[in-house]
């Protein structure tokens, strides 16, 4: 008898505005349990890098829950189309983020990426925006992801 492993879903978003930067992630278990989290980034970053940060942090959190199969949903065309290899990475500074994302993605037995309209990503978007505007203790903020520069 074969046991079917059910996929989790992850929605991600990053927000960069005049107040700062934040990430929002919504994990949904196969049984429908919603696990939201967000964090303020305490370093200067671009909007595209923040999107990568959000996706990478979501993958890391999901792996921490011992998830093996994941469907990643986002409305960041940049991330999704670069992962699908449909768009070239034109910004050299995003290459280490892309490589880091691929490294974490390789730890899943099955991973798929889906581009979704903004309306389907509202919770992650709200979490990221809220996190970008929060003032809080520095120790609770996310530190930069350490990526190798080549």
Q: What is the pLDDT of residues 34-70, one digit of tens each?
A: 999 999 988 888 889 999 999 999 999 999 999 999 9
57, 25 in Cβ contact below 8 A?
yes
Helix 47-64, helix 95-105: angle, nearest 10 = 20
What confidence score (pLDDT) does residue 45 get? 86
Q: How confident is the model at residue 6 (pLDDT cuts 50, 70, 90)?
A: confident
For 81-125, the pLDDT digits (tens) are 998 888 888 888 899 999 999 999 999 999 999 999 988 999 999
Predicted confidence (pLDDT) at residue 150 exceeds the cutoff of 90: no
Q: What is the pLDDT of residue 44?
A: 83
Written out in words, the top-level CATH class of the domain with range 8-140 is alpha beta
Across the range 21-35, mean pLDDT stands at 94
pLDDT band at 135 (very low <50, low <70, confident <90, very high): confident
Query: Which pair of tokens denotes residue 8?
Result: 């989790």
Instruction: Indicate if the pLDDT at residue 137 is higher than 60.
Output: no
Q: Rounded to 5 degrees, what are φ and ψ at 19? A: -85, -25
What are the Cα distances from residue 127, in Å, to 21, 38, 90, 117? 11, 6, 28, 17
Residues shown for the chain: 150
Compute how many other C-beta atoms are within 10 angstroms of the C-beta atom of residue 71. Answer: 15
Q: Can you say whether the dihedral through the CA atoms of 25, 109, 71, 149 is positive or negative?
A: positive
In the block, residue with structure tokens 């409305």: 75
Q: Using the structure block, give the residue that is written with the tokens 């699908």.
A: 84
Q: Are 25 and 127 in contact (CB under 8 A)?
A: yes
The pTM for the full model equals: 0.84
Q: What is the pLDDT of residue 148?
A: 55
Residue 113's SS3 state is strand
Cβ atoms of 62 and 10 closer than 8 Å: yes
Predicted pLDDT at 10? 97
The residue ranges of every structural domain in the chain are: 8-140
Cα 15 to Cα 85: distance, rounded to the nearest angstrom: 24
């Amino acid at each position: 008898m074969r046991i079917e492993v059910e996929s989790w879903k992850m929605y991600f978003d990053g927000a960069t505005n005049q107040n700062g930067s934040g990430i929002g992630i919504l994990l949904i278990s196969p049984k429908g349990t919603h696990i939201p989290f967000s964090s303020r980034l305490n370093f200067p970053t671009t909007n595209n890098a923040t999107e990568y940060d959000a996706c990478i942090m979501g993958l890391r959190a999901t792996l921490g829950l011992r998830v093996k199969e994941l469907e990643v949903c986002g409305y960041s065309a940049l991330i999704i189309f670069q992962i699908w290899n449909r768009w070239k990475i034109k910004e050299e500074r995003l290459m280490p983020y892309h490589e880091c994302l691929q490294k974490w993605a390789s730890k899943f037995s099955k991973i798929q990426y889906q581009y979704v309209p903004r309306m389907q990503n509202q919770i992650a978007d709200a979490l990221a925006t809220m996190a970008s505007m929060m003032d809080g203790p520095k120790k609770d903020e996310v530190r930069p992801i350490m990526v190798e520069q080549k």
